[in-house]
Structure 1
């Protein structure tokens, strides 16, 4: 079988592969950062400043993944004729090369497709997405390194030769398609693009003008947040202090413009007001800089408990928020109070807080 399309060329494949290596590496590194923040080993530390850093890294993670989709499809189309080469296997090294390509293609498709479903918060599977997505990410990046090492001589030759005009047209179409895909979705995390990003998600929707991933009803906390006897417990080595909502409001209040940055890639800034955590710890008889475990009224979710490291509990911009954009928190945003800490994933900004424990 003969293929005459100008796209079927080592020169085209090498250039698309180089772009795909860049986007996939960006996606892997920023995804690894997000995983380490949420599941930190003892050696890992994540700063509280600048407040927008996680917004940038996670937005880059999702957008580089979206850019990788058209690039991967274009690269597979450029090498499509190789499926019909004969003989199918030309010895053990060739067999191993084809097996590595199969692993690479399967892992890349799994990462990009499941990542896209995660952005849409649609989970048509039974496995725990973050864990398997993280594991397959390592498989994909390992397969990319092996593939690049095997194909490096071919890539060098291809990149030193300028493609013909017909092949340049295919490349331009590929770059344009990837660019359009990014611009069409980037408004979810880049405010300046929200008016032109027709496919952006979760930008300004929800009560009080801020998106919501999990509502109070879905979390099963509506009755608990409406209980007039609600109290916040702050547990320190010196004992336990409890605070009513009125008592929290009587403490010195701090306001800060901080973004909510979600693992799905969307982010949005808002004005939060409440008690700074260092102030609350001092009032409760503890010291800022002490790690704190945060407990939510939500009992069924996997993020009902989170931990704030010392670098966040000593930051005056880490708030036990009581208000959002000048209004009392809506139940869906965490009433009676929630954690808002700078440079943290949204899943760790625990809502419906009922207890704080110093560690």
Structure 2
């Protein structure tokens, strides 16, 4: 007689609801922080039509929120693995669907697991700027964030009774657990916490510069790069050839349009500002910039106070060739058309001959190789 196939049996106590609940709390917190900061990042890069703009102060707000976004996403990796390890025996429960509630629970779990693994994996690859897929990262990552959040809310709603029974050590569902189980659980949770701490400490230095000496696993180090600043897109990658000083022209299109040479820009009043570059991949660093205030250029062009500005680059390849400054950023005295970095002329990879630098703004919108400013009313 052919032996009957039976689903595997798991007797380990650490695959229990209490352990899953504790790790789930931590993972839920990481996902919540990652989702909230991700909404901020996406809104700043792709502002909705009903939003007039984001504030320009504090100058490092985006640096903080995006650093927190990437740090919480990286912290979610060991938490997600631990959570999956804790609950994976339930994949083998039989029968696979026992009731409508059980079927809804399994559906929510399948959707949550698939979306969460996809979101974390693609986010990690984005920090390394490696895109081995045919789709555009930003819109898909943003859409999947909503899928993860929605499936997580559904999962919590379905599992609320179980979560309540195992929320704390004093909960009714955990009173009878043996002491040996409690010790093993503490060891597991300590190991998971240590893993979260390790991946955080060894990566967060790319944005939290006091810990940059421990920046061992992050793809960027804040001090590595031309003029002491990392470079995401070089002039060659952007299709910007050598720009001759006497051949450069900046067009300012407004009520009183003007064309300025690099020498003209250098003769205008010069200002200095200490502002961070904060990139969506998670790295950031403050630097000392010098150049002409955008507000001064707009006043010369007769732009009204409420005007927005379209900033156009010389680049011919890649995204974000054009960005837009809202009125708040355009009139902020710290927003510069930068000509210098760290007291030196901009290197070509940092945007020579002129680039935008503004407070509280994503790095992809700090347009390099600026050739035109268009006043929008």
If the TM-score is normalised by the length of the shorter chain, which range does it land in? over 0.9
**2:20, 2:86 within 8 Å by CA — same for their partners in 1?**
yes
**1:107, 1:136 within 8 Å by CA — same for their partners in 2?**
yes
How do 1:125-136 and structure 2 match up within 5 A?
A: 125-136=133-144
**2:237, 2:317 within 8 Å by CA — same for their partners in 1?**
no
Matched, 1:103 2:111: yes
| Matched pairs, number | 357
TM-score (norm 2): 0.92
User: Which of 10, 22, 33 lines up with 1:15 in the alignment?
Assistant: 22
User: Which of 25, 28, 31 lines up with 2:32 in the alignment?
Assistant: 25
How do 1:1-359 and structure 2 match up within 5 A?
A: 1-44=8-51, 45-161=53-169, 164-202=182-220, 203-223=222-242, 225-226=243-244, 228-236=246-254, 238-359=255-376
SS at match of 1:316: coil
TM-score (norm 1): 0.97
Runs of 4+ in 1 over 6 A off after TM superposition: none
Between stretches 132-141 and 275-284, larger displacement belongs to 275-284
Q: How far apart are the structure 2 equivalents of 1:184 and 1:146?
A: 34
Q: How far apart are the structure 2 equivalents of 1:176 and 1:195?
A: 19
Q: How far apart are the structure 1 equivalents of 2:68 and 2:308?
A: 29
Q: How far apart are the structure 2 equivalents of 1:10 and 1:99?
A: 18
Deviations 1:300-340 (A, max 9, x none): 32211110000001100000000000000000000010000
**1:290, 1:314 within 8 Å by CA — same for their partners in 2?**
no
Tell me how large the CA RMSD over aligned residues is. 1.3
**1:6, 1:170 within 8 Å by CA — same for their partners in 2?**
no
Deviations 1:11-45 (A, max 9, x none): 11001101111100110111111111111113323
Q: How far apart are the structure 2 equivalents of 1:248 and 1:18?
A: 55
Q: How far apart are the structure 1 equivalents of 2:168 and 2:223?
A: 47
SS at match of 2:333: coil
Question: Aligned-pair distance for 1:281?
Answer: 1.2
Of structures 1 and 2, the larger Rg is shown by: 2
Q: How far apart are the structure 1 equivalents of 2:339 and 2:215?
A: 32
Q: How far apart are the structure 1 equivalents of 2:47 and 2:309?
A: 15
Q: How far apart are the structure 2 equivalents of 1:84 and 1:216?
A: 54
**Structure 1 pair 329–288 and aligned structure 2 pair: CA distance change class (3 A):** farther
